[in-house]
Homo-oligomer: A and B are copies of this chain.
Amino acid sequence: MPRITLLTDFGTADGYVGVLKGVLAIHAPLVRVDDISHDIPPGDVEKASLALGRYWRRFPPGTVHLAVVDPGVGTDRRALAVRADERFLVSPDNGILTEVLDQAEEWEAVRLSPSDLLPAPESRTFHGRDLFAPASALLATGNPLEVLGPQVLDPWRLSNSGVRAVGDWVVGEVVDVDRFGNLATNLPRSLVEAVGEVEMAGHWIPLRGSYGEGDPGELLVVINSDGRVEIAEREGSAATLLGVGRGAGVRTKVPAEHPEKEEAGPV
C-alpha cells in the first residue's frame, strides 16, 4: 500500500492540517500519511521546493507527495499532478516542483480538472482541502495520472540563480539557509574541492570534512549531504555570525590552471 506525504505552510495551530488529514482519512482510509512539514514560511515556494527536492526520491516508488504552499489559491494558476521517476507529486503550479523536475530523469504532468472522480472545489480559498487532498487520495488508491486531467508540458519553474565567472573569480550565492544556520551555496563542488576554500563577507573559509572539525565558533566549508558546497559554523550558526541569508554572494578564486576558469558560467 503506498503512502502520502504532506508538505505545507499551514502551521498546525489553526486546524487546517486536521482538515487535510480528515479528507485523506475519508478518501484513502488505508493509506499511510507521513507529515514532512507544516512549517514552511508562509508563501515561501522556493523554500518548499528545496525541502521537497531533498526527500521526494528517498521514498519508495508509488509514494504521493502532496505539497501545498499556495499564495495564488483561487486565481487562475493551474493545479498539477506529476509522475516523476515513479513517485507522484500533487501541488499548485507555482514553481514548488522546480527541484523535483530538475532532478527527475523523466516526468509527465497533468492539470487537475473537475470530473466525476474529482469534484470542483467547494471553496476558492482552500484547494488543499478541496482539490489537492482528493487528487492525492485518488493517486494513492491506484488511479492513473491521466484520469485527473489533460497533459501539461510546461510546469512553472523558479529561475535558478547561476554562478558567474568574474576575472579570476567564480561568483555564486547562498541558495538555502537551514535550521542550523548552515548556508548552502550554488558554487561547483569540484571547483571548491580543488581550491579548498571560499570567500564570503571578507572571510576566507577552509574546506573541512565535517561540521565537527575546527574549533568552536570557527567557520568552515563542507560538502553537505545534498552534495552542495555549504558554509557552516562549528557549534553555531554561520547565518547569524555572518549576518547573511538566501541570495548572499559567495565566491572562490580559480587557480590559473583550473579548467573551471574557462567553463564557469550560468548553470
Where the two chains meet, the residues of A that have a C-beta atom closer than 8 Å to any C-beta of B are 3, 5, 7, 9-19, 21-23, 25-26, 29, 33-43, 47, 50-60, 63, 71-75, 77, 122-126, 129-130, 176, 178-180, 209-213, 222-225, 235, 237
Say yes or no: B123 contacts A58, CB within 8 Å: no
Compute how far the CA of A179 lies from the CA of B44 in the bound complex, rounded to whole angstroms: 13
Which chain B residue shows the least CB distance to A222? B125
Q: Does the CB pair B58–A23 fall under 8 Å? A: yes
**Complex alpha-carbon distance, A29 and B52, angstroms:** 20
A123 to B235, CA, bound (A): 19
- Shortest Cβ gap from A54 to chain B (Å): 4
Partner of A63, one of B25, B35, B60: B25
Given A179-B10, A179-B11, does the pair A212, B21 have CB atoms closer than 8 Å?
A: no
Chain B min CB distance to A185 (Å):
15
Copies in the complex: 3
Distance in angstroms from A100 CB to nearest chain B CB is 12
In the complex, chain B residues whose CB is within 8 Å of the CB of A41? 13
Is the pair B71, A212 in contact by a Cβ cutoff of 8 Å? Answer: yes
**Chain B contacts for A57, CB-based, 8 A:** 22
Q: Pick the contact of A25 from B3, B223, B235, B237 — CB < 8 Å? A: B3
Selected contact of A36 from candidates B12, B60, B210, CB within 8 Å: B12
CB A37 to nearest CB in B, in angstroms, measures 3
Distance from A255 Cβ to chain B, minimum over Cβ atoms (Å): 25
Residue contact A37 to B25, C-beta cutoff 8 Å: no
Q: Which of B71, B211, B237 contacts A235 (CB 8 A)?
A: B71
Do A224 and B42 touch across chains, with their CB atoms under 8 A apart?
no
CA distance A74 to B234 in the complex (A): 12
- Identify which of B35, B39, B42, B224 contacts A35 (C-beta below 8 A): B35
Q: Are A15 and B53 in contact (CB under 8 A)?
A: yes
